[in-house]
Structure 1
Amino acid sequence: MCQAVYKLNSCSIIMKTLQFHIIFGLIVLLYKPGCAFEEIKNKSQAVEYLSAFGYLETALQYNPKLAHKLTNKVYRNALIEFQIFLDIPPTGILDKETLKALNTQRCGCIDRFYRVKQDRFKRYVRLPDGWRLTNLNYKISRYPTRELNQIQTDTEIKRAFDQWSAVTPLKFNQVENGLVHINIAFRAHDHGDINPFDGKLGVFAHTLTPSRDNVHFDDSEIWTTGTKKGTNLYQVALHEFGHMLGLDHTRVKFAVMRPVYPGYHPSAKLKNDDIEGIQELYGENNVMDSYEKQISKRHTSNQNNSVDNFNNRHCKVFNIDTIFISNSGEIYMFKDDSFWKWTRIGLAEPYPKLISDKWIGLPNNIDAAFIHKNGQTYFFKGSKYWRFTDTSIDKGFPREITFDFIGIPNNIDSAMSFNNKIYFFKGEKYWVYDPTKKPSVSNEYPRPLSDWKSVPASIDAVFSSNDNIITFVKNDLYYIFDATTSSVQTQDLSLYLKDLKCKFN
């Protein structure tokens, strides 16, 4: 990550800090940083940061000088909340990794909106205010004073807007005169909006809420394009325009709306988390030229005939890799590099999608997947497994199956979480892993798959939608096992997955 030093320095004459200002019903943090940066090294400096970005709900938000009244418990909880938000081990102490995050260049908007309920997180957060127009004019009223020229700046700003317009009905037009909806300016230090910038590094930009017109970039930064040096204008603009359109910060790793600067990435683009959030506000972009339709055929489908547009490769060879059901009842089916999602009303649109677009870091052709009672999703392939929280890969993964699931073989066929235990299937055998016992796998395993009556060997997938019914899948058939009666019913898979009209071979 691009390192920065951050401090709400106590050049205290201008430290009327941490005021909360209500704009159209939204809380926006307005603070007066100091004259220069100092690297965060101690608790008092960390407290100022945590206050500035919404992690402390005390009078400290309004007056950081009251830090001496802050209890260790409140401070530790705030620090843990920050660590969780940035996917750092929640130690509650200023360890090396936490200090690195605190000193990383970032957006000036607060991180507080992401919390919906205590200790629960959404994959993305949208603000209640948004544009009521789809055709928006923008003007760059003040350009950076060094490094990038006007043409380069115009190009990078347009690139960022194009990313958002590609996935929504919104269109952005650069103008010099006339009606302007979005005013973009490169400003330094105190620039008239009671939210001064803090010099080089630290906070690089801030944005007012939708239907306001200001997006400000800190002119003290070295704005660049196509290089690891300085701060990449396109990437920061992409993030700030998300705020301007109504999205808030997200904790999803690699998403554009994550608050900290990830460093220069030559192929940076919107991630699934960003796209789902913005389309929740404005809908999808349904106007694409014929070339774009051809290129994105695998990701789009006709609303009236959703599955008939599936790529022939997927329809003709439909031995799936695995299936799992989310906690909200959505069915996810995987094959090769793609996945499909069914809701209670049928196939979600548009599918299939690439696995790599939703679960960054997950390989293709996975063997098995399930969601455990802890809400985390486990994926298995070969000798390794991956654990995801929402769509973010957990730190330290992938890991070896035999290291964490002692007694379970590699290259499994499928797996499921059932009655607080994990069932693994391979060939004609199965294993039950009970995390509450030592050893977790009893010496009576593996057992023959014949325990499950007429369920065939080498299944493709297994999952359970309640405490009594288990569904096994192989090729074009699914087998419903009723645990109360130990009976099995066999059906065509397309009857289970509503709208699936592919022919299985």
Structure 2
Amino acid sequence: MASVVILRFVVFVGVLVSVSVQRNIRLNQNRTADLIEAYLHKYGYLNIDDGQRGNYTEQLSQAVRDFQVFANLPVSGTVDKVTLNKMLVFPRCGVKDIIRRNGTSQHYNFQAVGKWNKIDLTWNVSRYHAYLDIDLQMETINKAFQYWSNVTNLTFRHTPLEEPDIDIQFIREEHGDGNPFDGRGSNAAHAFFPGESSISGDAHFDEDEEWSLYQNGTNLLAVAVHEFGHSLGLGHSRSPGSVMSPFFEEFNENFTLHADDIKGIQSLYKNDPRMEINNTVTSTSTISSLTNSLNISTIAVTSDPLEDLNGTIAEMTSETSTAEGTKNSDRKRCHGNTKNCKSDKNRRKHNKKQKNKSKKVSKKSERRNTGSDEVDGEYNQDNENGTSYSLLRNETGHVKKKICHLKFDAVDGLNNKTYAFRNEYIYEVASFNIKRRKIRALFRKAPANVSSAVFHPATKELLIFKGKHIWKYNGKKLKKGYPKNITDPRYREPSASVLWYTGLILQFKDDMFWFLDERTLTLSDGYPKFSGVYWPNLPLDVDAAVWYKQNNIYFFKDTNYYKLDIVTRSIENGYPQEIAPYWLNCRNKKRSKKD
């Protein structure tokens, strides 16, 4: 028996242990050997079944060599101090390094494990880190997704109202997915590859880790970029400097995707962010990124956009909607562990933890800002040029009472966030911290009050409508030649606008609707038409609209919102619903009355 122990440590520690070694030293060595062996099993270097075949000692040695190759360490087959430190101390991802298929392991610089069958992906954070600022967490996660969208045709949208494709959680220890965290150090995060499981694509971060949004500690941005690579289908890379390396190196604020990362992700998804327009397109409209989410490569647009709707969208979305519906019905929010379920009770408990932080932020904002708020006296004040956001929370950290009665003039998704326009302000909604800013502080020369707005995700351009004029912004900059006057005599000032799947702009006013081509500033033939004929359950004179997911549009009217299925042209069951709980985070009426 002693000889077996000796042979084992020739492999693991590279030290020949004599039979006369004291018992307590031998026990410590055995414990270390067990940890190393468990590590090699966990990360794919040593198959459990391997112990039943051939020389187990040689298999252990080969597993160590494989690890050293993957970790770019000197290859010896024995575990020296450097190898041991890399294994048991160095922060790393919890996903396997070597993916085995049919009994054989994959040894590529990059590993492409799977992919999504769509390119418009959604995400949400269902469990935030308790001690990091929530807005900074959201900003960091959004930025991490941009690393991948910048080199592919993928788009990522924050969807706090429905189950996302990628659910993000900060959790600790055992959490119901079979891959428990181990506290600070070593296993810092893990994610799941695309697939049909309810947990496919999800990303988990160890809340006990010393996370940092800057330099000290384990950098959240770098780790999130890595984990989202797994969520998209990439395995680990053994290329030095690769984002998909399993080991989290010292943070470099200027880090970029390695050539190996780009090659890997582009082997799964195209690198062209905009689809080509086929010569069969007969109108002057462009194919927006909305068509990408419908898997539509070419659309023959006739004179009436609604005529194309029944044949094109219904056919192209049927398969995608079925697959997505199956996943959504199977997805379990708690992932087998009810402690992780984000119920309203848990959310209120979580919000309470943020009370002191929100209070400090609000007071700091009030000290910093000057001038008056013209909307109502209860909001925090903007500074004199309106360049800072105001947090719309009172000293207890709850959403202020009057914000819960806010009506929307326009709503749109800009940079993976949802914004609502009201009078001269723009509000970031569907977020824990409801914030606002003066429109003209963001978009120079914009109208004081916006009638409606549309963000085009393919061109990254924001269109603002007021009266019979249109403003077009690329980022914060007004494009040359704008604002422009819309001279088509059939045109009226719209109360709501939304980007249609063909690239035309669907607009509403009173009981009429029409399609506008923003390049020619003309209406489609045969329009305007009566809304009641084509959208029978839609209220008249809606205030705002935003495209949501693949075949849904949210319409806003007074303090309610409606979810419309554009294929059936009907309002979904259960609607209308109140805007306040879901878009303004006003979840407790009794509490809001005391604010």
Scaled by the length of structure 2, what TM-score is found?
0.38
Q: Which has the higher strand share?
A: 1
Scaled by the length of structure 1, what TM-score is found?
0.45
Q: Which has the higher helix share?
A: 2
Greater Rg over alpha carbons, structure:
2
